[in-house]
Structure formats: structure tokens, C-alpha cells
Copies of this chain bind each other. A is one copy, B any other.
Amino acid sequence: MSELWNKLYSEAAMQQKASPIREIMSVIRQPGMISFAGGMPDPEIFPVQEFYDSADIIKREGKDILQYGATDGYPPLKEFLSEWTKERMGRKVSSREMLITSGSIQVADLLTSSTVNKGDYIVTESPTFLGTTLDMHNHGAKFICIPCDSEGMVVEKIPEEVERVRTQGGEVKFIYTIPNFQNPVGCTMSMARRERLLELAEELELAILEDDPYGYIRFDGQHLPTLFSMDRKGLVIFGGSFSKILAPGTRVGWCFGDSNIIRKMTVFKQGVDTSTSVVSQALVYEYCRKGYLDDRLPGIIDHYRKKRDIMGKAFKEYLPAEEVEYNTPEGGFFYWVKTPRISTDDLFNKAIEKKVAFVKGEPFFPNGGGEHEFRMCYTFASGEQIEEGVNRLGESMKELL
């Protein structure tokens, strides 16, 4: 009886947009398909045995972890994170400034619920992670889009754009940034830009959502300070995740921020899911407590560095050099490729024929664009698949020229 439902949908439901990455799954699962599409970790390096060992905690703490848990998170995991993150956060974050979430995408969802009225604006990089901006769209948010260059978001452009919206009566709530190994572009925000961004946020009275799922996956160079550690005004909400440093099937992420906004987000979370799976949180905690997180991280970084390099080498070997532009990311999961003379729509269709998949650029641009750009994830496919897949992609490009 879809006619009845059509009468009952909310405006948000009628305007909702689905994630093309989630939707592409059926294409990716075709036999023989090589996928550079979803930003998925390599299951070959999942710590299956160590994670199974960590299930011991069920025997020891079963009565506690099978019960309802506190909405703000499993206390031992919160304590672990406070200690484990203290170097990058610049201090031990207190329990009241912390919320455990069901993946780091929930950080954006709860912050949006807490700040955005329908029609309010969020400042984002463009392109940026579409999973987050689609959810923000589904909350009724509009976007101020700021481009990225090799130093990350071009923050100098923010004031003019914010003033333009404010002059027209619009409300702007926060700046959404992925400062490290940005998804999808792979760029990292320079120190000077970080400093300027914090100054601007303060001047413009805006919060900052610092989304950092890839921060620990750095291949080259040194970590830059987090915005959270540089913030003296309580403006920055930091979002972290176990998805890339342990495994995404746990759906455990976290955020740090001013206790007032953490409290608002916690109350929204009461109604969204009561708490993140206590079972999942406890297994993640035990994995960390046993030292597996620290033991495994260097191996994960090495593994993905090699894959980044294999893809970079394959780009040089198989892609028509004069037709493509890309930068080499210092960490994270993605290359971002520009093909000025080739439409990504055409390229995608041709590539799927040849059994190779990527994500088209357009959905990464909240206000449109990206018709000649696309994202390539190097973490999921094997080394051989990367070579073969990039070869097929190169053939697809040549056929289209």
C-alpha cells in the first residue's frame, strides 16, 4: 500500500538521498569485479584471532556487558581512550567531554541534530565525504562549499562565504573538516591553515567538526597537531573511529568536545539507540587493553603504504599521463583523480563493462561539480587486483578518448 505511505512521508523522507557507495554494493559483488569503490579496509589484515581472544571478556564481565549500558559509553573504553589519545589531543580528555558513538558517522549525525534547524548552513570542504553530507542533507542542512588545494581546505575563503549567507538571513552553525588524508581528496591541512581555521571559527562564532577517521594511518612525515589540541575556546568537536585502525564491523567511534554540546548529543543518542552496543564496545576495549591495537597498528600502516605505492606505480604505467591529474596522499585510503577531457559518467560505465569499479566524483560535491573527477580506494583490493584494475581503467580511458 505504497499510496498510503506516500501521504505519510515527512519532507525529509521525500527529499532524502541515499549513499551511492552503499547503493553500489550490488555492482561490486558481481563475479570478477575489482572494486576501488567503498572505502573498505582489507579483510586480509583483520585481526581475527586477536579479536576472538578479546571475546574472553564476555566470560569475565558478561553480566555487566550484556546489560543496558550508559548512553555516553562503556566506562573502561572511555578511560582507555582518554589515555590512548592524550598525545594527539594534547591532554587527557575527561569523561564528561567524551561520547562513544556507533561509528564516527554518528558524531556528525548527533552534532547536526544538536545544532541544525532546517535550512541552516554547514561549511564543508568540497569535495568531502558524501556519507556525512548526505545525512546532513537528510536533516535539512544546506552547504557552504570551500575548495581544497594541496594544503587542505582553503580556509581564507570561509569569511566571505559565511558573510554572504548571513547577509541573506541564513544561519551558519559549524565547519566540517577532515584535516588528515581527506576523504576523498587525500590532502592534509597545513599547520598555517589549522591556525587560521581556529581564528576564523572564533571570529565568526562557528564550531568545528574535526572528523579524523584516518588520522592514525600516516605513511610519511610527522603527525600535525589536531585542531582539538590547538583549540582554547571549546569550539572543536573531534570525531574518531575504530573502523580503520581495528575493524568497521565493530561500529565503535567516539567524540571529544565541550561538555555542554556532548551533553546535548548524549540526550539525542538516548532516543537513537540508547547506547552503542555494549558487547561491541567491550570487545574493542579488551582488544585495546591486551595491547593488540598498538601491536597491530604499524603493520596496518605498512600494509596500506605498500598498496598506495602499488596503485601509484600502476597509475604511471597504465593511465594516459597527459589525461590524468592526481596527488600522492601521505596517509589514509584514497587517490583522487581528475580527467579533464573525460566525463566520469562515461568512464564509470565503460569501467563497469571491464569489471572495475570506483566512485564517481559528483556526490562528493554537496553543491554540485566533479563531473571529471573520481575516487580510488587502494586499501581493499589485493596488490595484483590493483595492477589489473588500474590496467583495465587505463584501457577504458583510452577507448573513450
Please list the residues of chain A having a beta carbon within 8 angstroms of any beta carbon in chain B. 1-2, 4-13, 16-19, 22, 25, 38, 40-41, 43-44, 46, 48-49, 51-52, 55, 58-59, 62-71, 102-103, 105-106, 108-109, 113-118, 120, 131-132, 134-136, 138, 173-174, 205-207, 233-235, 243, 247-252, 258, 260-261, 264, 267-268, 270-280, 282-283
Contacts and interface: CB of A to CB of B under 8 A. Distances in A.
28 contacts: A1-B258, A2-B258, A4-B205, A4-B235, A8-B173, A8-B207, A9-B114, A10-B113, A10-B120, A13-B264, A13-B268, A19-B267, A44-B63, A46-B62, A48-B63, A51-B66, A52-B59, A67-B248, A68-B243, A69-B249, A102-B102, A105-B271, A135-B271, A138-B267, A250-B279, A277-B277, A279-B280, A279-B283
A278 B252 CA distance: 11
B41 A67 contact: yes
Contact of A113 (B12, B120, B261): B12
A49 B59 CA distance: 7
A138 B105 contact: no
A62 B49 CA distance: 8
A48 B66 contact: yes
A160 to B, nearest CB: 21
Contacts of A43: 63-64, 66-67
A396 to B, nearest CB: 26
Contacts of A115: 8-10, 13
A116 B58 CA distance: 40
Nearest to A278: B249
A67 to B, nearest CB: 5
A50 to B, nearest CB: 10
A247 B282 CA distance: 14
The 3 closest A-B pairs by CB, nearest first: A135-B271, A48-B62, A66-B247
Contacts of A114: 9-10, 12-13
